[in-house]
Amino acid sequence: MATWQLGPFDNDDAVEWCGILETTAPAQRTELVRDVLEAVVSSGPALPAGEAARAIAAAATVLQSLTGAPASDSAYAPRFLLGRRDIRVSPSLQALAMRALDVVLANGSTWRQRWADDVEEEEALAVIEELRLSLGSATMA
């Protein structure tokens, strides 16, 4: 996975997932988001880094759908969803997004180990922790 910044859409896996999301029929987009989040929760901390990156992007998409505002400044964020209700966020989907981020942030997770020897580890963790906090306090726009 190539990563060029720390945001939820600033890596190859997230960009690829957003491309799939964009080409998915609007009525199927909520399920696509749910599927990636459920896969991470069921995999646990040993999940591949690519799956973690897709789950982070999916969680940020849930946040964007809740607030009606972009969850990232990245050019690769799913701005095509702004002003639309394609992602139907229920309390259970919001909670699932938070649980998926908990898995990503868990001590010993593959995603976390990827940053362990990097000087940006604290910054990367802070980005995901902020996303999780924002999800926890977000309400429908």
On whether residue 39 sits in a domain, the answer given is yes
On whether residue 89 sits in a domain, the answer given is yes
Task: State the pTM of this model.
Answer: 0.92
SS3 124: helix
> Is residue 120 over pLDDT 80?
no
On whether residue 1 sits in a domain, the answer given is no
Q: Decide if 21 contacts 62 (C-beta within 8 A).
A: no
Express each pLDDT in 20-58 by its tens digit: 999 999 999 999 999 999 999 999 989 888 899 999 999
> Is residue 114 over pLDDT 80?
no
Domain of 80, in residue numbers: 12-137
Q: Total structural domains in the chain?
A: 1
On whether residue 45 sits in a domain, the answer given is yes
What pLDDT was estimated at residue 34?
A: 98
For CA atoms 120, 11, 5, 24, give the dihedral sign. negative
On whether residue 3 sits in a domain, the answer given is no
> Is residue 60 over pLDDT 70?
yes
What pLDDT was estimated at residue 22?
A: 95
| Tokens coding 14 | 């997230």
On whether residue 4 sits in a domain, the answer given is no
